[in-house]
Amino acid sequence: MTKMTLGAHPYMLGFEQLERLLERSAKTGNDGYPPFNIEQTSDRSYRITLAVAGFSEADLSITLEDSQLVIRGRQTEEGEGRQYLHRGIAARQFQRSFVLAEGVEVGDAIMENGLLHIDLTRVEPEKIVQTISIKKGAS
């Protein structure tokens, strides 16, 4: 039995881009760091919260690239000249990606108590009914 992909399903036309986005998201190195929550705050809104203790607003960047929300963190090394007896707090960089459905808009990004909150809203598309005329072919 062969596995049918989303883009190859006979009733799902034009979804190849979605399939590529999902594949790309799976390959972006989401290794569990930093930990995050996704909560539904209303029928049409969501909030992603990342635990980014030790990062400042300047250390973080949030971009939207081809329906993919990408959060990157890179800390500047301030430990030069310091001698650590134990270093358990890693200053490592990260990239965390989320694929957004069509119509999901990114709202505010708020930093609070070591947590980065990103608000998302799903905009309801207008319902459009279109009548397609049938032309007579050449006989």
Amino acid at 72: R
CA distances from 117 to 16, 24, 39 (A): 31, 24, 11
In a domain, 28, yes or no: no
In a domain, 128, yes or no: no
**Residue 79 pLDDT more than 80?**
no
Residue-range definition of the domain harbouring residue 40: 33-78+87-123
Number of domains in the chain: 1
In a domain, 17, yes or no: no
Based on its alpha-carbon atoms, the radius of gyration of the chain, rounded to whole angstroms, reads: 22
The neighbour count for residue 29, using CB atoms within 10 Å, is 10
Across the range 110-117, mean pLDDT stands at 96
- Looking at per-residue pLDDT, the higher value among 6 and 88 belongs to 88
The Cα 100–Cα 137 span in angstroms is 42
Q: If we measure between CA atoms, which residue out of 57, 22, 53 comes closest to residue 35?
A: 53
pLDDT in tens, 37-78: 999 999 999 999 999 988 999 999 999 988 889 999 998 766
Q: How confident is the model at residue 15 (pLDDT cuts 50, 70, 90)?
A: confident
Judged by average pLDDT, the poorest of 6-10, 91-95, 106-110 is: 6-10
CATH number assigned to the domain comprising residue 60? 2.60.40.790
pLDDT of 4:
64
**Residue 102 pLDDT more than 70?**
yes
